[in-house]
Amino acid sequence: MRSAAPAACDCHVHVFDPARFPYAAQRAYTPAAATVEDLQALHARMGMARTVLVQPSVYGTDNSCLLAALHQLGLGRARGIAVVDPATVSDLELWDLHEAGVRGIRLNLHVQGRGMGAAKQQLAGARRVLKMPGWSLQVHACLDVVTCLLDDMQRLEKPVVLDHYAGGLAPEPDSDVALGRLLAAMRNAPLYVKLSAPYRLWPGQPVQDLARTFYGAGPDRVLWGSDWPHTGGSGGSGRTPGTLEPFRAVDNQEVLQTLLGCLPDAAARHRLLVDNPAALYGFDR
């Protein structure tokens, strides 16, 4: 089944091409190949016209694979979210990334900064990079980390995109309070939540209720991403770079249709798939 929106955008995918672009020596896992051609085949089946490529952790700060994929897909169809070292990246390198279609950077706080102090340092370091026009900050972190960093994020005065339902609700008594803080921030700041990868949340999450809640708090602040090709097929236990890790088996169309069924009407679905990503990432509208 194809998407009904002719300019629909999948805002979260990764490309892995180890034959052309070897993985970083220091990495947590080793995924199989998932090439641009594989991605194009998926999006042809789903009717996706646009995509946002996200730099995966296995490539570190070497964005070569990301840039090659952007070149292959073209600026009419694709944007990129890179990973850089703010302490060493030059202004010229940032402009080269921008010209290639990069429109932001990603902080994977699940990988890099497990302490709150380290997370705050990374946010502070991102400030110089985010001076680039039209760039946003993408953050992968659990909800309690997100809420502790809300003030820091808002001081950036740039759009911030929170991956995977902002980490979802944790099995802790104050999760509802944390969610309430996030919803209030969404109403008052350029803070986006990506409705992606529900399988990465804690078991038993009310995913459909969360989708409705986030949409209700900020209809113009929600995005959708498939998270293709769905890393983590080993279940996260015993991950090692010496073993090829399978991808998860995910029915992307079923996940998307379930999400779209949570939204109130066709205008809301169009906003999620077309209007919001076009406005944030600079696609033609």
3-state secondary structure 82-127: ECCCCCCCCHHHHHHHHHHCEEEEEEECCCCCCCHHHHHHHHHHHH
Q: 198, 255 in Cβ contact below 8 A?
A: yes
Residue 123, domain member (yes or no): yes
Q: What is the total residue count of the chain? A: 285
Task: Report which secondary-structure segment, H or E, holds 37.
Answer: helix 36-46
Is residue 3 assigned to a domain? no
The 10s digit of each residue's pLDDT in 166-179 is 988 766 667 888 89
Which residues, in sequence order, are CB contacts of 266 under 8 Å at separation 6+?
Answer: 4
DSSP helix/strand/coil, 49: coil
Residue 68's pLDDT is 99
pTM of the model: 0.95
- Please check whether residue 78 lies inside any domain of the structure: yes
CA 38 distance to own-chain centroid: 19
* Model pLDDT, residue 2: 52
State the amino acid at position 267 in one-letter form: A
With contact defined as beta carbons under 8 Å apart, do 225 and 196 qualify?
yes
* Cβ–Cβ < 8 Å for 228, 237: no
Domain presence at residue 161: yes
CA distance 5 to 107: 30
Q: How far apart are CA 6 and CA 269, in angstroms?
A: 12
Residue with token string 């980490």: 167
Domain that holds residue 215: 9-281
Distance of CA 86 to the CA centre of its chain: 19
Which amino acid, one-letter code, is at 214? Answer: F
CB 34 within 8 A of CB 69: no
Flag whether 4 is in a domain. Answer: no
Task: Residue 64: give its domain's CATH number.
Answer: 3.20.20.140
Torsion on CA atoms 269, 201, 77, 5, rounded to nearest 10: -20
Q: What is the mean pLDDT of each run of 10 residues along the chain (285 residues)?
A: 75 99 96 98 97 98 99 98 97 98 92 72 93 97 91 94 88 80 94 95 84 96 98 74 93 96 96 98 92
Tell me what pLDDT residue 118 has. 84
Domain presence at residue 91: yes
Give DSSP secondary structure letters for 145-190.
HHHHTHHHHHHTTS-EEESGGGG---SSTTHHHHHHHHHHHHHHSS
DSSP label at residue 202: P
pLDDT digits (tens, 9 = 90+) for 18-27: 999 999 999 9
Number of structural domains the chain divides into = 1
| Measured distance CA(193)–CA(186) in Å, rounded | 8
Domain presence at residue 99: yes
pLDDT per position as a tens digit, 87-114: 999 999 999 999 999 999 999 887 554 5
Q: Does a structural domain hold residue 218?
A: yes
